[in-house]
Amino acid sequence: MTLVDDARRVRENAYAPYSNFKVGAAIRATSGAVHLGVNVENVAYPEGTCAEAGAIAAMIAAGDSEIAEVAVIADSPVPVSPCGGCRQKLAEFGRGDVKVTLATTDGTTSETTLGALLPGAFDQHQMERA
């Protein structure tokens, strides 16, 4: 089973009664463990959460802290990319060369990296003082 398959499977559990746009995410940590997330909408929009954020939370809750690979899937005509906030969240826990596979439910995929998704990412090095 691939990381995209994991994301596809968990996507069905998304809570999207308002948009009907279900998203699934799977993160493989450097430990090898796979952590899953789905989007969770809320009637008090925009209080919902993205699938990528859910997968990151699951990863941290399980005791992992570094991303090795990411997959995101949605029922979309083209592979859907993480939102800007999730790009920053992913960059917090993964290096720029981390592989990101974006997929549609009909099987179309696109591969990129965290660095390509968020060039010039704000990171902990910018918080350091001379």
Specify the length of the chain in residues. Answer: 130
Q: Evaluate whether 98 touches 91 at the Cβ level (below 8 Å).
A: no
Q: How far is CA 64 from CA 12, 53, 58, 115, in A?
A: 24, 14, 9, 21
Going by the annotation, the residues of the binding site are 39-45, 50, 83, 86
Going by the annotation, the residues of the binding site for substrate are 39-45
Q: Of 12, 47, 52, 128, which is the active-site residue?
A: 52
Is 69 catalytic? The answer is no
Contacts of 25 (CB under 8 A, 6+ apart): 7, 10, 36, 37, 38, 50, 51, 52, 54, 55, 70, 71, 72, 73
What is the residue type of 2?
T
Q: Evaluate whether 6 touches 35 at the Cβ level (below 8 Å).
A: no
Going by the annotation, the residues of the binding site for Zn(2+) are 50, 83, 86
* Active-site amino acid positions: 52
